[in-house]
Structure 1
Amino acid sequence: MPEIRLPITTERLVLRRFNGGDLDAFHAYHSLPDTARFLPGPAKTYTQSMERVGRYANFVFEKEGDWVALAIEAAERPGLLGEVVLKWLPGEGQAEVGWTLAPAARGKGYGTEAADAVLSLGFEELGLHRIEARLDELNHASAALCSRLGMRLEARHIDKWRYKGQWATELVYAILAAEWRIGAARSRYARPLRIRFQ
């Protein structure tokens, strides 16, 4: 797998490796029940946030099961807005993308822009074949984000998960490298991104 060159910059964002200075901001939004609503497990304690930031800061992407975990910040105003991750799945050229944003960063297109940059990383730099996103059917914001990226709804698994005291239906969205290259992913995204790998 090629080396991942960081940071990645887009029109408005910088995607970079996490560092210790991100801990308080990371905990501020991961400690909220609203953030944890569609994530496995309850809202994070400070110790859990510390462990996660440490893991994200020291990620490696060398084998199946590894994660690329990138901090999202605004280009003109440093400070953690959220994270976007890419997980290497079993099977040739397979990966999963995911994202979490702080409340103040939601509804501004940052999630779409960051995820779009990670799709570019996956297809253009890492040579992946297929990238998917898995989400709770009730997570309407993430479903809309997948659609903006040009990802298609591939599956609906009824009552796939039981967490937080109830059954959840899982949606699987995906996009292929070939679709990405012919512009299917960009056709619904009004502002084409200029992505730079440094």
Structure 2
Amino acid sequence: MPDITLPVRTERLALRRFEGRDLEAFHAYHALPETARFLPGLAKTYTQCMERVGMYANFVFEKEGDWVSLAIEAKDSPGLLGEVVLKWLPGRGQAEIGWTLAPGARGKGYATEAAAAMLGLGFGELGFHRIEARLDALNTPSAELCERLGMRLEARLVDKWHYKGQWATELVYSMLEQEWP
């Protein structure tokens, strides 16, 4: 796979490599139970956030299993709004996309714009054949985002995960390269 050209720019956003200056903002939203609700694990500690930001800042995207997580920042107002991730899955040309936003950035179309840019990167520069999103069926905003992007609901896996003390139904949305606008 080729190197990733950064930053990725959209109409309102810049998707860039994480930096040390992102730690406080990253921790501010990842420490919230509402952010952790649909993510694996509990709300993150400051130390966990330090480790994650360091990992994201120094990502290598060369082989199956690698992740790229890009910081989402408004072009006209520097500061971390959230992140969008792409994981290279096993199997030829397969990837998974995800996103997390700070509470103040939600509901403004930033996640849709960032995810669309990441799909464009994945299908364009990186040459993936299929990109999927896996989410908790109770995560209605993310399901609606997948639909806005034109992703198709491929599966509803009832009681697939047991996490945070309860069973969760997993939705799998996906898109093929030839379906990308």
TM bracket (short chain): over 0.9
Aligned partner of 2:175 in structure 1 is 175
1:109 aligns with 2:102: no
SS in 1 for 2:42: coil
Distance apart, 1:55 and its partner CA: 0.5
Aligned partner of 1:76 in structure 2 is 76
Distance in 2 separating the partners of 1:69 and 1:179: 24
Aligned partner of 1:153 in structure 2 is 153
What CA RMSD, in Å, does the superposition of the two structures yield over aligned residues? 0.4
Structure 2 unaligned blocks of 5 or more: none
Aligned partner of 1:138 in structure 2 is 138
Q: Using CA pairs under 8 Å that are at least 6 residues apart, name the structure with larger relative contact order, 1 or 2.
A: 1
Q: Where in structure 2 are the equivalents of 1:122-137 lying within 5 Å? A: 122-137=122-137
Structure 1 unaligned blocks of 5 or more: 184-198
Distance in 1 separating the partners of 2:97 and 2:112: 12
Distance in 2 separating the partners of 1:128 and 1:63: 12
Q: Where in structure 2 are the equivalents of 1:44-59 lying within 5 Å? A: 44-59=44-59
Which consecutive segments of 4 or more residues in structure 1 shift more than 4 A? none
Aligned residue pairs total 181
Distance apart, 1:40 and its partner CA: 0.6
Distance in 1 separating the partners of 2:39 and 2:8: 25
The one-letter code of the counterpart of 1:176 is L
Aligned partner of 2:34 in structure 1 is 34
Distance in 2 separating the partners of 1:79 and 1:93: 33
SS in 1 for 2:11: coil
Distance in 2 separating the partners of 1:43 and 1:69: 18
Structure 1 length-normalised TM:
0.91
Aligned partner of 1:119 in structure 2 is 119
Distance apart, 1:64 and its partner CA: 0.4
The one-letter code of the counterpart of 1:120 is G
Distance in 2 separating the partners of 1:55 and 1:145: 26
Distance in 1 separating the partners of 2:62 and 2:9: 23
SS in 2 for 1:133: strand
Percentage of matched positions with identical amino acids: 78
Distance in 2 separating the partners of 1:3 and 1:56: 16
Distance in 2 separating the partners of 1:138 and 1:11: 30
